[in-house]
Amino acid sequence: MTDIFPIIWSDFHFLRPHFLWGFAGVAVILILGLLNARENAGWKKHIAAHLRPFVISKGSASIKIVMQFVQAIALSCAVLALAGPTWKKVQLPGQILETPMVILLDLSQSMMADDIQPTRLERAKFKINDFLDSKPGARVSLVGFAGTAHTIVPLTRDYKIIKNHVETLSPKVMPFLGSDLKKALDLADTLMSITTAPGTVLVFSDDFDNQDFDVIQNFIEPLKSTTPSRNKIEIMPMNTPSGADVPAYSGRGFLKNDGKALHSSLNSAVLSQIGGLENVTIHQLTLDNSDVELIAKNVSDHLKFTEAPTEKEDEWRDVGLLLAAPSALLILMWFRKGWVVFSLLMMVSLSSCNSSNKVEDFNDLWFTRDYQGQKESKAGHFVEAANLYKDPLRQGVAYFKAGEYDEAIRAFSRDTSAMGAYNLGLAYVQNGDLAAAQLAFGEAIKLDPENETARNNYNKLGHVLEGESEASMADAQEAGAEKGKAKNEQNKSPEDLSGGGQKATKKDMEKERLEETVNTDIRKAKEQDEVPVDFKSGENNNQQMVMMQKLDDDPARFLMKKFEFEAKRKNLKPNPDEKPW
């Protein structure tokens, strides 16, 4: 109590000032009460004077008037409590968050140079594996970049998946030539934006020039931001001062410029400038694992981040709660037959006349947000329904039906149940992120070992991602030209999201379960060796039409097709000013 008083009048204000209109209702109730008491006193003159002491209780009129004022005081305290008087801010505890990490791997042609044995790229792969073996503890994502940047593995704690993908990487999987670090950092920033905790970016690259210095500086110190970024960049240069000639794309000979072989070497001057930036560290390659072990230790030591609270309007201390107790005590004094009901009816009548009340506020008085969302969903307004739902599972289902798969992923990520993990996997499949989908299905199996559908999807995706099952790939050879038409026909019913043309069971309908299984998508996918010529970016094309095709037992070919599809769908183009090697 002592930390609230004395009142600082210069900071005094109301958190919910619109409730002060309630004083108008209090005044009307007081006036009507006094008039009623006065009218009741008028009939006394019709009683004989010698009988009045025996008919009328002494002091009853004055008590009624006093009680009217007590009622007004009690209601006034209630109005003030609702308005939320405040004059002092509260120090909120910081939120503890987990810091993410993104590994950026340069997949340009110059990484095939052999000044670092066996090649720069192979040594970078070794270092990534050694780093993961050091168990940094954070969620790690892997991004490959050349002329464009692509997510190879989203944020995950399953380092085995990252290591499996690392082995298959080469410049051939990238859709465009080049080495655009800016695109890679932008993608890393997007991946780390799922949390406000500062993240760490580990860069394996061999090409750093003055343009890269500006890119890194803008990433650490954004020009349009009043506060510097808290993200850290760890750089591991994958070349030597002596350098080496860049091999040709065919593997025979070297790339040439004006008849001379292109030579790539370490730019020590630029690296020295980059290392001087705040939150940027340059690590020199070592023969052992001490370099990556140091990075892993730094990540592990700063795994938990306590977010400092910022002063916002809702951080003012609401003193209105202190007025609730005296208001309740005063109400008890006039708690007599008919009085409470009469006063409540008067307050409701007066409040209903207030034109400032919004329709949404009125609905919130009588219906839960989930019920309102259910009504919007039945009307086919899925985006509006998602904005109303409080339950993340229902919100994700609504976004899924609306085709907003990114939003559905965010919603399902907040649901820790087995159903939420299963639906998260389906959303990732629709969004084209099959590695993340497999992780989600694995989490669903862990939470519900009896979920056979999730297990089948997990195994099927494992075959696709690792290229271990020709039988699974043979299913993808069936014609899928009518995929889009069939999908529209199957999803006309909001209760059937199986995508397989089969009716959902009663249990599925009750749970609003998403049954668009990966198995069905594979069976109905179309065999295509190239991205369609008439493919248009921005359209709601089914990603499995391109990715779920007949593949060799080579995961690199799958990644190549996936990145090629992403480049077409998102209309990604390389920077013409970037060096093509």
What's the pLDDT tens digit per position in 555-567?
A: 788 888 889 988 8
Q: Span 206-214, mean pLDDT?
A: 89
| Nearest alpha-carbon partner for 201 in 316, 97, 279 | 279
What confidence tier does 229 reach under pLDDT thresholds 50, 70, 90?
Answer: low
Cα separation, 342 vs 127, whole angstroms: 78
Residue 353: inside a domain: yes
What integer pLDDT is reported at residue 402 of this predicted model? 84
Class of residue 406 by CB neighbours under 10 A (exposed 0-12, middle 13-18, buried 19+) = exposed
Highest-confidence segment of 202-211, 461-470, 505-514: 202-211
Cα separation, 563 vs 556, whole angstroms: 11
What integer pLDDT is reported at residue 366 of this predicted model? 59
What confidence tier does 292 reach under pLDDT thresholds 50, 70, 90?
Answer: very high
What confidence tier does 67 reach under pLDDT thresholds 50, 70, 90?
Answer: confident
What integer pLDDT is reported at residue 543 of this predicted model? 41
What integer pLDDT is reported at residue 131 of this predicted model? 96
Cα separation, 280 vs 442, whole angstroms: 36
Same domain (yes/no): 302, 445: no
Average pLDDT score, the chain: 75
Residue 362: inside a domain: no
Lowest mean pLDDT among 155-169, 235-249, 299-313, 357-371: 357-371
What confidence tier does 388 reach under pLDDT thresholds 50, 70, 90?
Answer: confident
Domain that holds residue 53: 9-89+319-357
> Which CATH number belongs to the domain containing residue 183 in this structure?
3.40.50.410
Q: Span 502-508, mean pLDDT?
A: 41
Residue 383: inside a domain: no
Please say if the pLDDT value at position 322 is more than 70: yes
What confidence tier does 256 reach under pLDDT thresholds 50, 70, 90?
Answer: confident
Name the residue with tokens 């209760």: 495
In percent, the amount of the chain with pLDDT more than 70 equals 69
C-alpha gyration radius of the chain? 34
Same domain (yes/no): 57, 104: no
Please say if the pLDDT value at position 266 is more than 60: yes
Tokens of 86: 């405040």
What integer pLDDT is reported at residue 495 of this predicted model? 35
Residue 295: inside a domain: yes
Residue 141 DSSP symbol: E
Tokens of 167: 């082995």
What integer pLDDT is reported at residue 106 of this predicted model? 95
What confidence tier does 513 reach under pLDDT thresholds 50, 70, 90?
Answer: very low
Interval 151-197: pLDDT, tens: 999 988 889 999 989 998 999 999 999 899 999 999 999 998 887 78
What integer pLDDT is reported at residue 329 of this predicted model? 72
Name the residue with tokens 């090629």: 564
Interval 134-145: pLDDT, tens: 999 899 999 999
| More confident of the two residues 59 and 513 | 59
What lies within 8 Å, CB to CB, of 388 at 6+ separation is 369, 370, 372, 373, 376
What integer pLDDT is reported at residue 527 of this predicted model? 37
Cα separation, 338 vs 196, whole angstroms: 55
What integer pLDDT is reported at residue 531 of this predicted model? 42
Same domain (yes/no): 76, 99: no
| More confident of the two residues 551 and 364 | 364
Beta strand pairing call for 232-237 and 280-282: parallel
Same domain (yes/no): 184, 288: yes
Cis peptide before 228 (omega within 30 of 0): no
Cα separation, 201 vs 102, whole angstroms: 5
Cα separation, 571 vs 554, whole angstroms: 26
Same domain (yes/no): 153, 48: no
Which helix (H) or strand (E) segment holds residue 150: the answer is strand 149-156
Residue 16: inside a domain: yes
Residue 68: inside a domain: yes
Residue 276: inside a domain: yes
Interval 520-557: pLDDT, tens: 433 333 333 344 444 444 444 444 333 333 334 567 88
pTM over 0.85: no
Cα separation, 147 vs 202, whole angstroms: 19
Interval 71-104: pLDDT, tens: 888 888 888 888 888 887 766 555 566 789 999 9
Lowest mean pLDDT among 113-122, 241-250, 338-347: 338-347
Which helix (H) or strand (E) segment holds residue 96: the answer is strand 95-98
Name the residue with tokens 């070297």: 254
The DSSP bridge partners found for residue 316 are 89
Cis peptide before 6 (omega within 30 of 0): yes
What integer pLDDT is reported at residue 95 of this predicted model? 58
Q: Span 230-252, mean pLDDT?
A: 89
Same domain (yes/no): 181, 323: no
Same domain (yes/no): 101, 56: no
Same domain (yes/no): 78, 191: no
Q: Where are the beta strands (DSSP E) in 323-395?
A: none
Interval 455-488: pLDDT, tens: 888 888 877 776 533 433 334 334 333 334 333 4
What confidence tier does 44 reach under pLDDT thresholds 50, 70, 90?
Answer: low
Between helices 339-352 and 60-83, what is the axis angle to 10°?
40
What integer pLDDT is reported at residue 103 of this predicted model? 97
| More confident of the two residues 110 and 58 | 110
Cα separation, 459 vs 438, whole angstroms: 8
User: End of a domain among 307, 328, 343?
Assistant: 307
Same domain (yes/no): 103, 76: no
What integer pLDDT is reported at residue 302 of this predicted model? 84
What integer pLDDT is reported at residue 174 of this predicted model? 93
Asked whether the beta carbons of 293 and 234 are under 8 A apart, the reply is no
Cα separation, 469 vs 461, whole angstroms: 10
Same domain (yes/no): 277, 329: no
Tokens of 7: 């009142």
Residue 76: inside a domain: yes
Same domain (yes/no): 44, 101: no
Q: Where are the beta strands (DSSP E) in 191-303?
A: 200-205, 232-237, 244-245, 256-257, 260-261, 263-264, 280-282
| Nearest alpha-carbon partner for 418 in 396, 391, 450, 386 | 450
| More confident of the two residues 2 and 375 | 375
Per the structure, the count of domains in the chain is 3
Same domain (yes/no): 293, 149: yes
The DSSP bridge partners found for residue 501 are none
